[in-house]
Amino acid sequence: MVNTGGEPTPHSEAASADAMIKVRGLTKAIGPQEILRGIDLDVRRGETLAIIGRSGGGKSVFLKHIIGLMQPEAGDIWVDGQNIIGLNERQLAAIRQKVGILFQGAALFDSMTVAENIAFPLREAGERDPTILREKIREMLEVVELEGQEDKMPVSLSGGMKKRVGLARSIIRRPSCVLYDEPTSGLDPVVSDSINRLIRRLQQRFGMTSIVVTHDMKSAFQVGNHIAYLHEGRIYFHGTPAELERVSDPILQDFLLGRSGSESAL
């Protein structure tokens, strides 16, 4: 890993003790391709960590491991102090109530309206009172700035609106941690900026720990308290945005400046 020389490294004892999410030696192969090659990472409570890296570099795969949607070949993941490796789907349910996820394509249930999508986690948790459900839906729509869209179907929403609804659905039960998979991909700069502001606002309002996977550098700098760079299946850099700006490492520089670099030079 690139030495940032600044704050304590994320693997220090203090960081580990306060970690909402702790990952050690995570490896994953899909077919013959090794996607993750031993990831070590800590995410402290209440912080927003932006994970950047090239497309197809395993960022989304890593994110899905944190919520147990994928199982690794080796390694351990602790969420709020509990090791989730080896847990079955039913055992993972308790962990998944603490961690929300916004999927890249929002993954809204296309047979349900916006309101039904947002209320889904509460209904599944046994809430049946229509007054409480209506109030919660209204509150969530206000948080994601989509008031009055309750009755729309997902198919009639724009990409940005879908992501907002997906976000509202994932935070309605107030999880301790939210994972964002490419929250600004496919969105225009103005909508991207509004999503970034929304992520920051959620962190400030609810104190949620957030992991934002993105290859949008502007987004990473805008939302991240810390930034980790995933390169060739490993965390190549982990530090603050200010530290990342100061780094002179050629691989990081190529990524930050959007140069194809020597690796892929013809």
Partner 1 sequence: MVRLVSAVGRVFLSLFEYLGELVLLAADTFHSIFTRRLRWRLFLHQIVEIGLLSQLVVVITGGFTGAVFAAQTYFQFNKLGIGSGVGAVVSVSLCRELGPVLTALMVTGRVGASMSAEIGTMKVTEQIDALRALAVYPVDYLVVPRTLAMMVSMPLLVAECIAFGIGASYFIAVHVLEISGTYYMSNMVRWTGMRDITMGLTKGFCFAILIVFISCHKGLTAREGAVGVGKATTEAVVNSSLAVLIFNFFLTMFLNIIFPAGYQ
The answer to whether 192 and 184 are in contact (CB under 8 A) is yes
Q: Toward partner 1, which CB reaches closer, 111 or 262?
A: 111
Q: Toward partner 1, which CB reaches closer, 170 or 219?
A: 170
Q: How near is the Cβ of 70 to partner 1 at its closest, in Å?
A: 9
Q: Toward partner 1, which CB reaches closer, 154 or 233?
A: 154
Q: Toward partner 1, which CB reaches closer, 88 or 264?
A: 88
Which residues neighbour 33 within 8 Å (Cβ) at sequence distance 6 or greater? none
Rounded distance between C-alpha atoms, residue 159 and residue 191, angstroms: 9
Q: How near is the Cβ of 212 to partner 1 at its closest, in Å?
A: 16
Rounded distance between C-alpha atoms, residue 120 and residue 122, angstroms: 5
Rounded distance between C-alpha atoms, residue 193 and residue 160, angstroms: 11
Q: DSSP assignment of 179-232, as one string?
A: EEESTTTT--HHHHHHHHHHHHHHHHHH--EEEEEES-HHHHHHH-SEEEEEET
Rounded distance between C-alpha atoms, residue 256 and residue 248, angstroms: 11
Q: Toward partner 1, which CB reaches closer, 70 or 217?
A: 70
Task: Note the residues at the interface with partner 1 (CB under 8 A).
Answer: 64, 67-69, 89-90, 92-94, 96-97, 99-101, 103-105, 107-110, 120-121, 124, 169-170
Rounded to the nearest 10°, the torsion over CA 234, 240, 243, 248 is 30
Rounded distance between C-alpha atoms, residue 64 and residue 101, angstroms: 9
The sheet with strand 226-231 has its strands ordered as: 99-102, 177-181, 209-214, 48-53, 226-231, 234-239
Q: Toward partner 1, which CB reaches closer, 165 or 230?
A: 165
Q: How near is the Cβ of 59 to partner 1 at its closest, in Å?
A: 15
Q: How near is the Cβ of 124 to partner 1 at its closest, in Å?
A: 5
Q: Toward partner 1, which CB reaches closer, 62 or 103?
A: 103
Q: How near is the Cβ of 153 to partner 1 at its closest, in Å?
A: 14
Q: How near is the Cβ of 101 to partner 1 at its closest, in Å?
A: 5
The number of CA neighbours under 13 Å toward the Cβ of 213 is 24
Q: How near is the Cβ of 69 to partner 1 at its closest, in Å?
A: 5
